[in-house]
Amino acid sequence: MMSDLTPLERLLEPLPTALRAEAARRYARHETVLFERLARLYGGRRDFLPWFCDLMESLGRLHAARPAVLLQLDAERLLQPDWFASQSMLGYSTYVQRFGGNLNGVAERIPHLRELGVTYLHLLPFLRPRAGESDGGFAVASFDEVDPELGSNADLEALTAQLRESGISLCSDLILNHVADDHAWALGAKQGDPLLREFFHTYPDRDMPDRYEATLGQIFPQAAPGNFTFDGSLQRWVWTTFYPYQWDLNYANPAVFTAMICAMLGLANRGVEVFRLDSTAFLWKREGTDCMNQPEAHWLLQAMRAIVDIVAPGVLMKAEAIVATPKLPAYFGSEGNGGAPECHIAYHSSLMAAGWGALAEQNTDLLRAVVRATPALPPSACWLSYVRCHDDIGWNVLLNEAGENGPARPARLARIASFFAGANGSYARGDAFQSSSLDKAHGSNGMAASLTGLESAADTQQTEFALRRLLLLHGLALSFGALPMLYMGDELGMTNDYSYIKRPDRAMDSRWLQRPPFDDSLLALRHDSGSVTGRLFSGLRQLIALRSRHDALAAGAPRTLLPSSDGAVLALMRGPDFLNLSNFSGDSVACDLPEGRWRDGVSGVEVSGKVSLPPWAMLWLERTV
């Protein structure tokens, strides 16, 4: 039955009286963007207004179900909207199973996280995954249920509460782009439910798929070629950008939008504070394009943000958009989208890849081009910087910076990829991922310690250089001006896990190299200053502690790239009094310092005028006069 209530009344109706006035204020503040973006997307449908009103009622219910402690957190965060950009914020990313066995085991590792100074924990997918291989949980079978192998919904709520008490915010993936082929929506579609079939992009024959394929890219060209999969039950082709068992959702259907925003807010009510919005670039399909970064994908994210700002304003949205540098800023809603806020945080994958590129080339040209192409951000928004993560280092995001258009650009990136695969006597022990030819690069896999030479080091000097390279890359992530995120095991120098090769369902996906189980024997060495692990751990902790002392290292503080007489050196100024001087080469280089006297924050040594940087050395210089 149609209700006569306005959208606002539908939103407020389920709420207790005490929450209504504030909810109405927030609605008034965000209504224009919310309504306007959804009208752009769905306004052409006859049922748009009733759908919008129903959505408001669902949101009102979710708001009413928000626990008091989280309502309190919302109120606090509204008073300090840039809390996550502080120089004391530090992220850590890991698989639940690899780190703690299950959610309770993760809780037992909180002391380790606190010792490092972690304030933000990204747990890779922990919801019930597809039966069988599930792309590390990225094929979700239920958004309402924790994977029974990892615990229960109650365990999740207990973990988020414990983390919160320890000053750590939990970040969860929200896999927006696709669901598993055994998710209830996919099963219903296979059984002939017409409404559920509309949750997906399906085609009776190859006509449309072939037309789309003409301009689509490939995510896993070797392991999962093509973007469409024929489903025998449906007798139709289904859009599957990633693996064939990951069915892309059809956001042209407003029911999908409602279902996904409700899934997000349901998890937020269990205490998840940050959502890593997986594969955000792919949400909207348009023939004749690569179906990435479409304007509609941004409108969807802006509408989601407006909803979060109304219902759960303490929650953050983080874009996982692994796209070329110029396409990245739009994920903050800063440009070209009518100025509405979008995500709070976005992965800076170009910076990450360019840091590795600089190591391989012993030259910082690419890196400096990326730093120059990184614009200042709107208030209360920040980059996420990192050295490694569970995915490959994707090289194609650097095509813009890799030189003039033409075959030299992919060839240059392919040379970098082959370096990390150990070519020509390189120290790196990694794998080239999904490359389609020798002169094109796709990605590189491997744990940071293996890629920087710790795995191959045969003597003390090689070990020393590998350690320096690890600290160099972490120093970049920590001083760039971002929320830096460590990857599980990198703080201890954990190396590649080759066991995936024996599993037929994983052997073709070398991203498993960088997904080893947490090594407690290395953890035990972290305070042993004679061990490699101990030196790395204390080196990292020193940088983390130094960082948190400097306001100039907060994510939003200004950064300036200083000219350098040697291409191997990156000279990154933060504010007027902090300088990261990093030598990305195996030669000693002499550098001119800016005016004044400086002290290296790590060694305490005072310098001025000219300084000599040994191979792969980094100085974190603080101005003393």
Judged by beta carbon, residue 87 or residue 240, the one nearer ligand GLC is 240
Contact 515, 497 (CB under 8 A): yes
Judged by beta carbon, residue 190 or residue 515, the one nearer ligand GLC is 515
Judged by beta carbon, residue 249 or residue 483, the one nearer ligand GLC is 249
Task: Tell me if 175 contacts ligand GLC by CB under 6 A.
Answer: yes
Task: Tell me if 279 contacts ligand GLC by CB under 6 A.
Answer: yes
Number of residues that bind ligand GLC (CB under 6 A): 10
Amino acid identity of residue 141, one-letter, is: A
Q: Is 13 exposed, middle or buried (0-12, 13-18, 19+ CB in 10 A)?
A: middle
Task: Tell me if 361 contacts ligand GLC by CB under 6 A.
Answer: no
Judged by beta carbon, residue 341 or residue 394, the one nearer ligand GLC is 394
Q: Which two tokens stand for residue 597?
A: 């006297």
Rule CB under 6 A: choose which of 181, 231, 248, 278 binds ligand GLC.
278
Within 303-322, which residues bind ligand GLC (CB under 6 A)? Answer: 320
Q: Which two tokens stand for residue 55?
A: 């959505």
Task: Tell me if 41 contacts ligand GLC by CB under 6 A.
Answer: no
Strand duo 443-445 + 382-386: pairing: unpaired
Shortest distance, position 139 Cβ to ligand GLC, whole Å: 7
Strand duo 202-203 + 236-239: pairing: antiparallel
Strand duo 483-487 + 91-94: pairing: parallel
Task: Tell me if 395 contacts ligand GLC by CB under 6 A.
Answer: no
Task: Tell me if 138 contacts ligand GLC by CB under 6 A.
Answer: yes
Task: Tell me if 323 contacts ligand GLC by CB under 6 A.
Answer: no
Packing angle of the helix pair 17-42, 254-269 (nearest 10 deg): 150
Task: Tell me if 95 contacts ligand GLC by CB under 6 A.
Answer: no
Task: Tell me if 242 contacts ligand GLC by CB under 6 A.
Answer: yes
Residue 345 phi/psi, 5-degree rounding, is -135, 145
610 membership: H or E segment, kind and range = strand 606-613
Contact 136, 124 (CB under 8 A): yes
* Residues that are catalytic: 278, 320
Q: Which two tokens stand for residue 85?
A: 């950009």
Judged by beta carbon, residue 301 or residue 552, the one nearer ligand GLC is 301
Residues 449-488, mask of contacts with ligand GLC (x by CB under 6 A)? ----------------------------------------
Task: Tell me if 135 contacts ligand GLC by CB under 6 A.
Answer: yes
For the four alpha carbons of 113, 116, 122 and 128, in that order, the dihedral sign comes to: negative
Contact 394, 418 (CB under 8 A): no
Judged by beta carbon, residue 268 or residue 277, the one nearer ligand GLC is 277
**Which residue number is nearest to ligand GLC in terms of Cβ?**
138
d(CA 277, CA 267): 13
Q: Which two tokens stand for residue 421?
A: 């695969």
Shortest distance, position 318 Cβ to ligand GLC, whole Å: 12
- DSSP E strands, 169-222: 169-175, 178-180, 202-203
Judged by beta carbon, residue 486 or residue 546, the one nearer ligand GLC is 486
Task: Tell me if 143 contacts ligand GLC by CB under 6 A.
Answer: no
d(CA 349, CA 395): 9
Task: Tell me if 157 contacts ligand GLC by CB under 6 A.
Answer: no
Rule CB under 6 A: choose which of 9, 82, 391, 577 binds ligand GLC.
391
CA 426 to chain centre: 29
Shortest distance, position 509 Cβ to ligand GLC, whole Å: 9
- Name the site residues for ligand GLC (rule: CB under 6 A): 135-136, 138, 175, 242, 278-279, 320, 390-391
